[in-house]
Amino acid sequence: MLTSRRDFLSLAAGAVGGGLFCGCHKTGKGGETYSVALLGDTHFDSTDTKYYHSEYLSSTTEARYKAHLKEHVRNAKMWQERMPSLLRASAACVRDDTALILQMGDLVQGDCNNPATHRRMLTDAFNVIKGAYGDKLPFVSVVGNHDIRGDIPTDGTREAFDAWQPPVVGKELKQAVSSTTFSFWRGPDVFIVVDFNEPRPDLDLVKRLFAESGRARYTFLVSHGPAIPNGASRWFLLGDRKRNQERRELLRLMASRNTIVLSGHTHLLEYYDCVLPEGRVTQFVANSVWAKPESATLTILGEGVSEYGARVKPVKGKKPVKDKKQAERKAELPQLVEEYRPLLRDYLLANAAGHYRLEVGPSRVAVVFYEGAATSPTRTFTLR
């Protein structure tokens, strides 16, 4: 059992680094062609399930509490057995043109129930993951739901994240960052990072960031929650049914800029290509939660437009409804599928965990996927 923070960080740094990257860390160069080391959700945690969670004593419901405890056990095994090798592989795939590391949110597990512990967890995750790449590349992470998750809404974890992220990201990007929604430039391209956690998605701010970056060659929108839903849940960017008008307005705005969306959250690998009257939106959803050894293997669940929404089950029977709001959300899912399917030109849904490289050039944008700790590409997805 780990006895101190120093013990844990030493173990993690040794497992991830261990001198394996000497001579392999290369900073990105300016210009119009570059790559980005891309990671999905990481759910950073200790190999000792009590290390960050000793004060996580209860929850809103017993079922929710037990489910969270299972996640702590999953993460402990994952970070002991698999995540260090995934980071080693990702770092080994860094190239001369790699500009930064971009992580899709749920950087940490959360569930600390103590603001100081939560902030320490965030700092530890940042140091371990950035350190895996030799501390030479800027490391940018978008806020996920776990990054602000505590035992109860008033336990201060959201406030702890809000105080932690902007200055850390600002230092990495060498620019002023004052919010969990912000933008940054890489050469001729803009990355608009959006906090998807309700009630945070500020459409007015997002619209202003789009307006200020109209000269961009490529526009990337980065959000933990996908902007285009897979049809199986309403938990996506502006997915609250009360914000349907804003959701549709954002979709049209993204299309008008031919936006490329990068996200995580679903623990799946997903690819969408949509065409609207205003333009094109392409979305790639990345996953790095290597929960079980076999979960790294790319397993297609659905491919082709006709498969979109296949996971949505129709509401049947008249069983008593325990949670009326949840039942209403499920009943609306087929409507979401019917709204988005006509826009799709291509679609893929898969179980897969690993690391990725975003490749950006004057005439091509692609994501290269590597299963688990592989250093040879598994599949390449052309986004432009």
Statement: residue 188 has pLDDT above 90 = yes
pLDDT at site 322? 59
Statement: residue 18 has pLDDT above 60 = no
pLDDT at site 313? 65
Statement: residue 47 has pLDDT above 70 = yes
pLDDT at site 319? 57
Stretch among 15-24, 251-260, 272-281 having the lowest mean pLDDT: 15-24
Share of the chain above pLDDT 70, in %: 88
pLDDT at site 154? 80
Q: Which residue has the higher pLDDT, 29 or 147?
A: 147
Residues 6+ apart with CB under 8 A from 114: 55, 155, 156
pLDDT band at 21 (very low <50, low <70, confident <90, very high): very low
pLDDT at site 60? 77
pLDDT at site 153? 75
Q: Taking residues 50-60, report their average pLDDT.
A: 89
pLDDT at site 61? 85
Q: Would the pTM of this model clear 0.85, i.e. be above it? A: yes
CA 372, distance to chain mean position in Å, is: 16
Cα distances (Å, whole numbers) of residue 33 to 90, 98, 99, 143, 186: 19, 9, 10, 27, 10
Statement: residue 3 has pLDDT above 60 = no
Q: What are phi and psi of 65, to 5 degrees?
A: -60, -45
Contact between 157 and 149 (Cβ < 8 Å): yes
Q: Taking residues 313-327, report their average pLDDT.
A: 58
269-276 and 279-285: which strand pairing? Answer: antiparallel
Q: Taking residues 336-359, report their average pLDDT.
A: 97
Mean predicted lDDT score pLDDT of the chain: 90
Domains of the chain with CATH codes: 28-382 (3.60.21.10)
pLDDT at site 291? 97
Q: Which residues pair with 38 in a beta bridge?
A: 102, 356
Q: Taking residues 88-94, report their average pLDDT.
A: 98
Statement: residue 29 has pLDDT above 80 = no
Statement: residue 247 has pLDDT above 60 = yes
Statement: residue 33 has pLDDT above 80 = yes
Statement: residue 151 has pLDDT above 90 = no
Helix axis angle, 5-16 to 83-92, nearest 10°? 50
Q: Taking residues 108-116, report their average pLDDT.
A: 96
Statement: residue 87 has pLDDT above 80 = yes
Statement: residue 17 has pLDDT above 80 = no
CA 217, distance to chain mean position in Å, is: 23
Q: What is the dihedral of CA 93, 98, 100, 102, to 10 degrees?
A: -50
364-371 and 354-361: which strand pairing? Answer: antiparallel
pLDDT band at 22 (very low <50, low <70, confident <90, very high): very low
Q: Which residue has the higher pLDDT, 65 or 237?
A: 237
Contact between 383 and 358 (Cβ < 8 Å): no
Q: What are phi and psi of 109, to 5 degrees?
A: -75, -35
pLDDT at site 328? 67
Q: Taking residues 152-159, report their average pLDDT.
A: 86
